[in-house]
Amino acid sequence: MILWGGSDDHESEGTKGCVTSFIADGAAYDPAKDSWSVLSASPLSARGWHSAVWTGIEMIVWGGATGLGCDYGYLSDGAAYDPATDSWRPIPSSPLSGRVEASTVWTGNEMIIWAVAHMDAASL
């Protein structure tokens, strides 16, 4: 299991449900050894609500949100993590606008992303 990014925040009354910090680190759990290891530093900025898929060799992370309070920036970049070498590589820029909470699937050859484009809270 590989974990990366997210928020160490919780929706408290004082923040009105808005995140005050995002994370740009991660860890991997090896069930055979029953141990965790910290991932090498990612080239991605801290973010939450991003998408990730497992290719059989790498974990690809794409999109998500960053920012403070409820002033989020929606991201359209990504990177791939290889646990065999504990290394990251940036992936080419996406032609899509930034998305959060996208549904993703690995077809065996490519990552397919399905999500609604950004909608601000006033539109909800």
Taking the mean position of all CA atoms in its chain, how far away is CA 92? 16
d(CA 105, CA 86): 23
Of all residues in the chain, the percent with pLDDT exceeding 70 is 85
Output phi, psi for 53, to 5 deg. -135, 155
CA distances in angstroms from 10 to 18, 42, 73, listed in the order given = 8, 24, 19
Which is it for the CA torsion 94, 95, 100, 104, positive or negative?
negative
**What pLDDT is attached to residue 11?**
58
CATH fit for domain 2-123, picks 2.50.20.10, 2.120.10.80, 3.30.70.890, 2.40.170.20: 2.120.10.80
**pLDDT at position 39:** 98
Among the residue ranges 11-15, 79-83, 102-106, the one predicted with the least confidence is 11-15
Q: What is the pTM of this model?
A: 0.83
pLDDT digits (tens, 9 = 90+) for 24-79: 999 999 999 999 999 999 999 999 989 999 999 999 999 998 887 777 888 999 99
Query: Who contacts 9 (Cβ-Cβ below 8 Å, separation ≥6)?
Result: 15, 19, 20, 21
